Structures are given as structure tokens and as C-alpha cells.
Amino acid sequence: MPATTQSPTNHIKRCKPLLGTYVEVSVLSENNNNDTLIDISECVFSEIQRVENLMSFHDPDSELSYINREASNHSCSISKDMEEVLLAALNLSKVTNGIYDISIAPTLVRNGILPDQSIDVDDQANWQDILIADGKISFKRKLLIDLGGIAKGYAVDRALCRVENQVKNITVNAGGDLRMKEWSGESVGIKASDTNGFNSLIFVPMHQAALATSSNYYIDVGKSAIIDPFTKKELKDKKSISVFASNCMLADALTKVAFLDITLIPIFKPLGVKAISIDESGNVQDLCETLDHG
Amino acid sequence: MMSGINNIKNFFIKVVALIGLSLLPVGHLYAEVYMSTEKAKEVLWQTTAMSPVALVLTNDQMDAIEEASGTWVRNGNLKAWKTKTGGWFIIDQVVGKHEMIDLAVALTNEGKVKGIEVLQYREAYGHQVRHPKWLAQFFGKDHTERLQIGAQIHNISGGTLSSRHITEGINRLVHTWNLVLRHL
């Protein structure tokens, strides 16, 4: 009987505090030893760190902070990464008629969710006052941009794409915003929380390569990071919304859109997007299905 | 589709109920062991030699660190190693409202953070999350086995949990270096 040869499979899982949360990297390979996998995961973490250094609202030295300080005074050159994220964000604003709006930052500052950097803003300003052309950005009115609802997903995408060709499978999970190389057949546990703080995990199959979840259950009582751009009111809903998409940046951003207006989600169905909500009783609702039949 | 989700959900509830009944009297836990202390030494300091430094902070030192860092010093027993190059390798623990984390921190000979690795992450799922007993169960040898059960859960998505307790913990260690370790 001929001997069968089977390649040994190596697997590592690491975690570091990045992007203001816990970033977990899981790498599986048949060709690399564990030391090489450590090096590969190091590339993932350094790519995430690089994106964080560009897009952090909290860091006064980030490219984003520079833009927030200067773009209402003069047009500023921006990096390719920043241009890609801002154009994607503005495109989403356009498609959702302003429901998705990265200029909501001043309300988050007022509510104590984001730090106050003492920058004057015009309360009437919105996403339409952000102009991007030829690699430069300028603000028509004084405003503040926060990329908290999209940059984490972008960082996950960039990090995964940088190394995915070197491994059999990889998952990058930045505090619940995750992307897998081989996602078919995988399942994921989604956290659910009721009014009494009873937490549970609800298992669902992966529908796409990326998944992001938004919920308020980790935020202090009475606060929310999700703001209605028209009323400036915080959404204190206790449900959670999870969005599956082909990339994590889109999944991340669409969780906020779904929170504010779920009727907009079918627009993204041709892109393979699927959204589910989990209520305080742990009931899972397929948002696309409900809308199809409703 | 939804019935599939419900089947998975029901199965999970049963599994958790069984685990809960047999092993976990205080709610169930998600725990993930990422890295051993020895591996973390290698990842953070490669082949640099290091030796353990037995150190118990005095009450005065703990007060001074608390004042400088604005962070409570919960434990005066420091698990630290000094490298041949004058740097440090420290095993620390941070406790948040939802999570408890063992981490390894490397500080350079100038007290700058060289690297951080989360060694173990634990998060409770259960109505006792805010109960003092939830924290109590993390302490003591007997709980190790229980905490590892959740390691079979591969990926979790949910609202973003802030890592600010780690930031505070790192700040406390940097001040510990400035006030104590740099003089050793």
C-alpha cells in the first residue's frame, strides 16, 4: 500500500491592541513554518498600524487630524489610502442621500465619544462640503471628519490583501469587523445583548468574505456612536446589526447605514451584501429577506 | 435560511447549556489563549538573553505609580525579566468591565514600548458580567480548564470593545519603569 504524504498544516493566532480595539490575526499555512507565520502576521499588524497612523481621529499627528485642522483654510494633498477611503465614504453618502456622513464628528465630540481638539465647526456643514480632486482635499465649510465607521474595515482589507497570497487561509478580526480569505463553509459567533446585560453568542454561517457588526452594548449607558446626520440624535437602540460584504470597508460602513435606515440596504444587494439584525431577545432577522417580502 | 440559523442557534444553546451545567456555574466564558510566555519572549526580544527579576512594589511605590499614571495598581507583584541590553519583558494583567487580559510588554532600556502581545483574552457571556463573582472566577488555578473551553469558537463579531484598559495598563507599566525599574 503506497504511503500517503500529507503536508503538515501550521496555524497561529495572535492578538494586539490596535485601532482602539483588539485585533486578532489567524493564519493557516501548509508551506510555512510557525516562525514564518509570525513574520506574516507581523506584516498584518504593521499594515494596520500604518492605516491607524493615517486615519486616527484621536491622534493629533495623524493625516486625518491634519486635514481636520487645515482643509477649511487651504486644499491639502492627501495619501492614496486617504483618497480611497474618502472617495468611498462620499460615494456612500451620495448613494444613501446623506444617511452615511463622515462629517458627523462634531456631534460625537459634543457627546464625549471623540476627543475635543478645539476646532471651530459650522453646524450646517455636511458631506457635500468635502471636495476631493487631483489628490487634494478642501472643505467648503468648517467641519470635522471622523473615519471611525469605515477606516477599521479598510485597515482589515489592506492588511489581509497584503499577505493573503502567502497563506492557505487568514482571518483578520478588528474588534468584530473581520475578513477571511477562505470564508465558504465558515461560521461566526455574533454577540447579542439584552437590556439586563445578558450576553450570548449566536452562530451564523459566513455569507461573504467580510462581516462587520455595530451595536451600542459596549458604550456607556445613554451614549451612542451612531448619529442620525439629519436630526443629530444618537441612536440608542440595543439591537445589533451585522453586514456581510465582499470587503470589510463596505461591511463596516453599511452597518451604520442599516442602523439609520434599513430600507437602503437592498440598494447594495447586487454587490452581494446581506444584513441581519439581532434583537434584545436574541432573535435573528434577515433584513434583506424582510424587505423583499414586506 | 432562517431555519438553518435557528438550528445552529438551538444547537449552540444546547451546547452552552450542557457546558454551563457541567462546568460553569457562573455563566459561560469565551477565552482565547494566543501565546505562551516563552513564545512572547522570543517574538518580542528574539534571542536577547534575559533573567527574571523578583520584585514586589512597596506601598509608597504603588502610590507614586498610581499618581503618575492615573491608574490603579492592583497587584504589587511584578512578573518582570531584565534583558542583557537593559530592556524589560513584563507579564501583566488588565481587567475591564467585560474582559480580562494577560499581556506581555517589552520596554526598551529607555522605557519606551517596544512591543505588546495579548497572551490570553477572556470575556464573559452571561448575566453575571457585572457581578463581582464574574471577576472572582478568573483567579485561582482551578479555573484554567474552564476558561479554555471557549477556545473552540474561532471567530466572533460584535460591537467594538474598546482596548482602553490596555492603554491604561501600558501607561501604568511605563510609569513603573520610570519610577522603579530604571533604577535596578
pLDDT at B149 over 70: no
Greater pLDDT, B14 or A134? A134
Short-list A131, A286, A120, CA closest to A202: A286
Mind telling me how many Å the CA of B82 is from chain A's nearest CA?
22
Check residue B145 and give its pLDDT: 33
Question: Taking an 8 Å Cβ-Cβ cutoff, which residues of chain B contact chain A?
Answer: 1-2, 4-6, 8-9, 11-12, 16, 30, 32, 34-35, 43, 98, 116-118, 121, 124-127, 129-130, 153-164, 166-167
Residue A70 falls within a domain, yes or no?
A: yes
CA angle A202, A207, A211 (to 5 degrees): 70
Q: Could you tell me if residue A126 is inside a domain?
A: yes
pLDDT at residue A38, as a whole number: 96
Q: What is the pTM of this model?
A: 0.84
**Contact (CB<8Å) A178/B2:** no
Question: Which of A82, A106, A139 is the last residue before a domain boundary?
Answer: A139
Residue of B nearest to A177 (CA): B157
Is residue A75 in some structural domain? yes
pLDDT of residue B17: 42
Among A residues 38-77, those touching chain B with beta carbons less than 8 Å apart:
38
Mean pLDDT value across residues A201-220: 81
Q: How far, in whole angstroms, is CA A94 from its chain's centroid? A: 19
Picking from A13, A22, A198, the nearest residue to B126 by CB comes out as: A198
Q: Of A177-186, A220-229, B21-30, B40-49, where does mean pLDDT reach its minimum?
A: B21-30
In Å, what is the CA distance from A59 to each residue of A52, A54, A64, A135? 9, 9, 9, 22
Q: Count of residues for chain B?
A: 184
- Candidates A116, A142, A131, A132; CA nearest to A60 is A116
Full residue range of the structural domain in which residue B57 is found: 26-183
Q: Number of structural domains, chain A?
A: 2
What is the number of helices (H) and of strands (E) in chain B?
Answer: 6, 7
Please report the beta strands in A83-148, taking only residues with DSSP state E, as ranges in sequence order.
130-133, 136-139
Q: What is the CATH number of the domain that holds A289?
A: 3.10.520.10
Query: A282 and A217: one domain?
Result: yes
Judge contact between A25 and A41, C-beta under 8 A: yes
| Per-residue pLDDT band at B160 (split at 50, 70, 90) | confident
Nearest CA in chain A to B131: A197
Report the first-to-last Cα separation within chain B, whole angstroms: 63
Which residues between 220 and 249 in chain A have a beta carbon less than 8 angstroms from any beta carbon of chain B? 240, 242
Chain A hits for B116, CB-CB cut-off 8 Å, are 16-17
Q: Which of A218, A240, A274, A286 to mutate to test the interface with B (most CBs of B within 10 A)?
A: A218
Q: Is some CB atom of chain B closer than 8 A to the CB atom of A119?
A: no
Question: B21-24: long-range contacts (C-beta < 8 A, 24 or more apart)?
Answer: B23/B145, B23/B146, B23/B149, B24/B146, B24/B149
B87 phi and psi angles, rounded to 5 deg: -85, 180
Task: Name the pLDDT band for B95 (thresholds 50, 70, 90).
Answer: confident
Q: Residue A282 has what pLDDT?
A: 74
Residue A239: closest CA among A271, A213, A209: A213
Q: Hey, are the CB atoms on A22 and B121 less than 8 Å from each other?
A: yes
Q: Which of A139, A174, A203 corresponds to the end of one domain? A: A139
Burial of residue A42, with CB atoms counted within 10 A of its CB: 0-12 exposed, 13-18 middle, 19 or more buried:
middle
The mean per-residue pLDDT over the stretch B67-88 comes to 94
Q: Which range, of A161-165, A219-223, A253-257, averages the lowest pLDDT? A: A219-223
Which residues 6+ apart lie within 8 Å of A49 measured at CB? A18
Domain that holds residue A283: 183-294
The three three-digit cell numbers of residue A288, written as one number:
434583506
Q: Is B66 a domain residue? A: yes
Q: Which residues of A105-128 are buried (b: 16+ CB within 10 A; e: fewer)?
A: bbbbbebebbeeeeeebeeebbbe
**Residues A72, A129: one domain?**
yes
Residue A158 has pLDDT above 90, yes or no: yes
What number is the ipTM of this complex?
A: 0.84
CA gap A61, A71 in Å, rounded: 15
What pLDDT does A220 receive?
55
User: Does residue A130 form part of some domain?
Assistant: yes
Contact (CB<8Å) B156/A173: yes
CATH code, A94: 1.10.3980.10
pLDDT tens, residue by residue, A98-118: 999 999 877 777 777 777 877
Residue among B160, B161, B167 with most chain A CBs within 10 A, to mutate = B160
A62 domain-assigned: yes
- Under a CB-based contact definition with an 8 Å cutoff, are residues A176 and A248 in contact? no
Q: Enumerate residues 255 to 294 of chain A having a beta carbon within 8 A of any beta carbon in chain B.
A: 282, 284, 286, 289
